[in-house]
């Protein structure tokens, strides 16, 4: 079960946070692009070098990485090559890979997406899904959780400012996100691992701590993927509501805060590769300490 492997890596690292690899060209320092030009192939190489350096910096600190595929798709074929190489590098170094692809389409298309992102050229350990089209758009992925040891995180309450336009609609005297939570918990009953959690998880943003706490109570056996830490404003105090009293139940993602840590450290364009990696590592460790400090109080 994916969720069991994730929990074991969290326990091993003493850390429920993951590194988000959402490469922005403005965050890639010159030391990483040394010797490269501006061709599409060179830019793809630069992205992979950037990701590889970050993975090397935190490989013993975090249990997993999360790749937002949009940043790679925006670069075309060379970006997707970098996406694939990064997944392979992360998994080859003992990290779980979560593909933030947010797929969800009619059943035949869903099967093709599942083949691409769980079995084929972009195979990850888990992916994110959009439930708007209902169960048949998710079924191939959920069966992969039950039968193939894969994982999914289904959007329930997202971190963006306008998420409430749909997710907070009231139907039959309840918020839509609460109804969706019950659906996700039900869909996950066939994929429960030995720690009591399902490999069918939920995406719940750190930027809505009250909703986060309500959803934690509503779906105690569902593992959460929590975006919104760091650059979006969430911190340890906000994300602690994602966890159960056992200290488990969630992984918290940080992307820009770790990727751009060298800028916050005042290194700028003259940063060396080792300084870049040291800054990323310090931020990942600071994040771990921030979250674990709050977890000790629940």
In the predicted structure, residue 197 carries a pLDDT above the cut 70 = yes
**DSSP label at 109?**
H
What digits encode the pLDDT tens for the residues 56-87? 999 999 999 999 999 999 999 999 999 999 99
* Domain 2-149+230-293, CATH homologous superfamily name and number: Aldolase class I (3.20.20.70)
Cα separations in angstroms, 74 against 38, 40, 44, 123, 171: 15, 11, 11, 19, 37
Report the 10 Å Cβ neighbour count for 48.
21
The 3-state DSSP class for residue 170 equals strand
Confidence of residue 235 (pLDDT cuts 50, 70, 90): confident
Name the active-site residue from 66, 81, 102, 237.
Answer: 102
- Ranges of each domain in the chain: 2-149+230-293
- pTM recorded for the entire structure: 0.95
Across the chain, what does the average pLDDT equal? 94
Active site includes 267?
Answer: no
Cα separations in angstroms, 36 against 45, 80, 81, 129, 263: 8, 18, 17, 36, 22
Predicted local confidence at residue 228, as pLDDT: 80
State whether the Cα torsion 215-126-92-230 is positive or negative.
negative
Confidence of residue 157 (pLDDT cuts 50, 70, 90): very high
Predicted local confidence at residue 5, as pLDDT: 98
Percent of residues, the chain, with pLDDT higher than 70: 98
Predicted local confidence at residue 159, as pLDDT: 87
What digits encode the pLDDT tens for the residues 255-274? 999 999 999 988 888 999 99
Helical (H) or strand (E) element with 269: none
**DSSP label at 268?**
G
Report the distance separating Cα 171 and Cα 298, nearest Å.
32
Confidence of residue 185 (pLDDT cuts 50, 70, 90): very high
């Amino acid at each position: 079960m994916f969720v069991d492997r994730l929990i074991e890596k969290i326990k091993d690292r003493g850390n429920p946070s993951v590194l988000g690899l959402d490469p922005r060209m403005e965050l890639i320092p010159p030391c990483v692009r040394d010797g490269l030009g501006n061709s599409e192939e060179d830019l793809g190489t630069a992205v992979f070098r950037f990701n590889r350096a970050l993975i090397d910096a935190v490989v013993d600190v975090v249990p997993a990485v999360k790749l937002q595929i949009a940043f790679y798709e925006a670069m075309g074929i060379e970006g997707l090559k970098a996406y694939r190489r990064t997944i392979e590098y992360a998994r080859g170094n003992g990290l779980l890979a979560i593909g933030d692809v947010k797929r969800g389409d009619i059943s035949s298309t869903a099967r093709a997406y599942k083949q691409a992102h769980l079995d084929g050229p972009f195979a990850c350990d888990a992916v994110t899904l959009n439930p708007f089209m209902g169960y048949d758009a998710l079924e191939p992925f959920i069966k992969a959780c039950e039968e193939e040891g894969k994982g999914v995180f289904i959007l329930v309450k997202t971190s963006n400012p306008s998420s409430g336009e749909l997710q907070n609609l009231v139907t039959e005297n309840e918020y839509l996100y609460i109804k969706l939570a019950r659906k996700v918990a039900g869909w996950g009953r066939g994929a429960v691992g030995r720690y009591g959690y399902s490999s069918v998880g939920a995406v719940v943003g750190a930027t809505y701590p009250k909703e986060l706490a309500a959803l934690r109570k509503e779906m105690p056996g569902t593992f959460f993927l929590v975006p919104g830490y760091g650059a979006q404003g969430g911190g340890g105090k906000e994300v602690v509501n994602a966890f159960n009293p056992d200290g488990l139940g969630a992984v918290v993602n940080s992307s820009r805060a770790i990727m751009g840590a060298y800028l916050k450290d005042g290194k700028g364009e003259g940063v060396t590769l080792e300084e870049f990696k040291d800054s990323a590592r310090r931020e990942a460790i600071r994040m771990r300490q921030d979250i674990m400090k709050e977890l000790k109080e629940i």
